[in-house]
Structure 1
Amino acid sequence: MTSPESSSTHRPPRQWRPDHFLDRYELLTVPLAADRDGEDPINATLVRKPGASAGAPRGAVLYVHGFTDYFFQEEMAAFFHDRGYLFFALDLRKCGRSLADHHTPHFTTDLATYDEELGAALDVVAEEVAAAGGAPRIVVAGHSTGGLITALWLDRLRETDPARHAHVAGLLLNSPWLDLQGEAVLRTPVVAGVLAAGARIRPKAEVPRELSSAYGESLHTEANGEWTYDLRCKPVSGFPVTFGWLNAVRQGQLRLHKGLEVGVPVLSLRSDKTRFTASYDIAVDTADCVLDVRHMAKWSSSLGSRVLSVAVPDARHDVFLSKEAVRARAYDVVDEWLSFEIDVDETAGSDR
């Protein structure tokens, strides 16, 4: 994969097409190499918000979703776009717009596999910003599992491809999945060994667990929520969890626990409380009912040397899908972070 500076001037124009989920958005298919888990053909999908910002853009945002998720958060895209950032979102392989009938949804046995589409998407975004007259300064944003994936990727990228890493200006995490929730025994080396063994023997076997519909019911308009999205891509009770995928997540978390250096300023947002429940009740509208926010508070400092960790009172698991007043407070925090950490005079240099 070439960096933006070395891309051929004779490359044919990219084939952006109308998005079939969001009106006036456009998508670009990102071709991928052979699937290491044997579910070819595969690809990823890059989505962009339409319309140019007034004047040269400040930079861009590249958003990465979590598990049982895909990009549909138009309000979030509008927030960044209104502040002068071009907005792009990546539906990873076997997820959302990239999910095909022959795929095991969201399945991978190694989170580093996503480096391929993340690197390709970063290159496209950097080139698009430069073409619009802006500096290729990109804020990578990750939600839940996407937060873990992007943090591990940037830690590797800083060492393996510093030229590409230099285009990243910050990392915005929205309830990142930094540890396994539930009873303490689940976080022991014994359980990690069981997961690893299951991943070797039957990677696509489903992990026995009760599936709660509480989070989905709190969000979707067909239940108790205010958001409309495709339930085939984001089912109310979630997709089945496989041994191979969960082991990949756990290995990534254990790597993070040893300490990362993502090399850019980090804002890590979370709710101020967790409320686990088997079915919907009103309390989940003002709490994280998917992950344990104490883990986010504990492990956010392991992301790097410049981390701001903020609890947003009454936020949901996806902070930007919280009740209106709550997400407005979250956007205020992001706005301040952008002003003090990202939107700086580049002639002053950088200490990263």
Structure 2
Amino acid sequence: MSEPIDVLAPWGDAGPAPVNQWRHDILGAAFESRTIELLPDAEGDNVATLVRYLPHRDPASTPRARSFPRFAALYIHGRNDYFFQTELARSMADSGAAFYALDLRKYGRSLRPWQTIGYTDDLNTYDEEIGESLDIIRSEQGDLPLVIVAHSTGGLIATLWAHRHPGALGGLILNSAWLEMQTLANLRSTIQPVLGQIAYYSPMWPVPMGSGPDFYARSLVDGWSGSGLTTPPSFSGNEDDPAFTGWDYAHEWKRPGSYPAQVSWLDAVLRGHEVVNEGVDISCPVLSMTSSGSYFGEQWDEQVFTCDVVLDVEVIAKRAATLGPLVTVAHFPGKHDLFLSDPWVRADVYSLMRRWCGAFVAAE
């Protein structure tokens, strides 16, 4: 039997961030976090955690990043995830953003020992912490245009939120948003009622998700240097990049091998997919970014580093094109999380985001 995971360990001796007060974050002096108290549920008390980036405390930030912001950005992570992408914060600030990130309830900084990691039975539940976070951001940034940047399951959550809150956003940026159930899309109408019945009677029943190798986690933890594969020549001079050495993050919060999915959680996701399939209407500009291709092979291969091994990018692109009247779809030869891809891919992703925000959200 495996040892229990201490979900508070990444905080160190200081413990979780205080309620309604900013304090230094685990990411260093340029980041602060604060705890947001939420309504309790059947498991007990809930919290969310808001993080903000302070470029004037960051020696690596640019003068442009330290100037007056032209818009505000809120990042929302995916499943088995939390915010640790400091390069994203720096890039967004250099694009003119006051940057914030939200660790949703039962994830990352917001996970508590009595909770089931990542669990919810209704994606609309996250409206509470998104709303509380936006109130804080508006209190600090006034009426600046707001952009939500969201990854994977967070992209589905943000898409549904934007649909229900027309006019609230100046832009929506999706990084491999989970907008549909891969190859099961054609079977959803059959599967969903069955899952719904199981969820009604046994909401915490673990859904069999297979036991194959987790190539995605391995690519993140080991990087190219530990992959045993032929390293691209482009890494010459980039041997200190985390895509080469392996990304540094808290395994208590972003777990190699992930964790079981409860049937009621999956039912909530499928209901979200159905809303997207039936048609959402997002009034603000949308930038939907995915990998150039998907790889679901059973062999450890270089494609693990250049493809999405989690989602079917063709299905995602098809759904993304229907989200609203102004949607930009872009593909890059990167991983499921494009922000954790090879350095030249990340540079292209951030360049597009910078130009897109300048064109559609906050012109120079």
Work out whether residues 188 and 270 of structure 2, in 8 Å CA contact, stay in contact via their aligned partners in 1.
no
Amino acid in structure 2 at the alignment position of 1:242: Q
Report the more deviating stretch, 286-295 or 45-54: 45-54
Deviation string 1:56-95 (CA, Å, 9 cap, x unpaired) is 2111110000000000000111101122211100000000
Pick aligned residue for 1:47 from 35, 48, 51: 51
- 1 CA distance for matches of 2:47 and 2:317? 34
Determine the structure 2 residue equivalent to 1:217.
Answer: 218
Work out whether residues 261 and 304 of structure 1, in 8 Å CA contact, stay in contact via their aligned partners in 2.
yes
Pick aligned residue for 1:157 from 165, 171, 190: 165
Alignment of 1:1-352 (within 5 A): 14-35=20-41, 38-52=42-56, 53-130=65-142, 135-158=143-166, 165=168, 168-183=169-184, 187-211=187-211, 212-221=213-222, 224=227, 225=243, 226-278=246-298, 280-312=300-332, 314-344=333-363
Work out whether residues 215 and 300 of structure 2, in 8 Å CA contact, stay in contact via their aligned partners in 1.
yes
Q: CA deviation at 1:252?
A: 0.4
Secondary structure at the aligned position of 1:25 is classed as strand
Secondary structure at the aligned position of 1:54 is classed as coil
Q: CA deviation at 1:39?
A: 1.4
Deviation string 1:224-252 (CA, Å, 9 cap, x unpaired) is 45311011111111121110111100000
User: What runs of 5+ residues in structure 2 fail to find an aligned partner?
Assistant: 1-18, 57-64, 228-242
Determine the structure 2 residue equivalent to 1:5.
Answer: none
- 2 CA distance for matches of 1:60 and 1:279? 42
Q: CA deviation at 1:50?
A: 1.9
CA 15–23 in structure 1, closer or farther in 2 if over 3 Å, else same: same
How many pairs are equivalent? 318
Work out whether residues 122 and 265 of structure 2, in 8 Å CA contact, stay in contact via their aligned partners in 1.
yes
Amino acid in structure 1 at the alignment position of 2:131: G
Work out whether residues 213 and 278 of structure 1, in 8 Å CA contact, stay in contact via their aligned partners in 2.
no
Q: CA deviation at 1:321?
A: 0.8
Report the more deviating stretch, 264-273 or 278-287: 278-287
Work out whether residues 258 and 302 of structure 1, in 8 Å CA contact, stay in contact via their aligned partners in 2.
no
Work out whether residues 126 and 138 of structure 1, in 8 Å CA contact, stay in contact via their aligned partners in 2.
no
Work out whether residues 92 and 114 of structure 1, in 8 Å CA contact, stay in contact via their aligned partners in 2.
yes
Q: CA deviation at 1:202?
A: 1.2
Work out whether residues 273 and 293 of structure 1, in 8 Å CA contact, stay in contact via their aligned partners in 2.
yes
- 2 CA distance for matches of 1:282 and 1:183? 26
Amino acid in structure 1 at the alignment position of 2:110: S
Q: CA deviation at 1:22?
A: 4.3
- 2 CA distance for matches of 1:195 and 1:305? 33
Deviation string 1:203-242 (CA, Å, 9 cap, x unpaired) is 1111012244110111124854531101111111112111
Q: CA deviation at 1:151?
A: 0.8
Secondary structure at the aligned position of 1:303 is classed as coil
Secondary structure at the aligned position of 1:42 is classed as strand
Q: CA deviation at 1:184?
A: 5.6
Work out whether residues 319 and 330 of structure 1, in 8 Å CA contact, stay in contact via their aligned partners in 2.
yes
CA 247–28 in structure 1, closer or farther in 2 if over 3 Å, else same: same
Q: CA deviation at 1:280?
A: 4.0
Q: CA deviation at 1:279?
A: 6.4
Amino acid in structure 2 at the alignment position of 1:50: L
User: What runs of 5+ residues in structure 1 fail to find an aligned partner?
Assistant: 1-12, 346-352
Amino acid in structure 2 at the alignment position of 1:189: S
Work out whether residues 214 and 281 of structure 1, in 8 Å CA contact, stay in contact via their aligned partners in 2.
no
- 2 CA distance for matches of 1:21 and 1:204? 33
Amino acid in structure 1 at the alignment position of 2:39: A
Q: CA deviation at 1:25?
A: 1.4
- 1 CA distance for matches of 2:299 and 2:269? 25
Secondary structure at the aligned position of 2:174 is classed as strand
Report the more deviating stretch, 218-227 or 63-72: 218-227
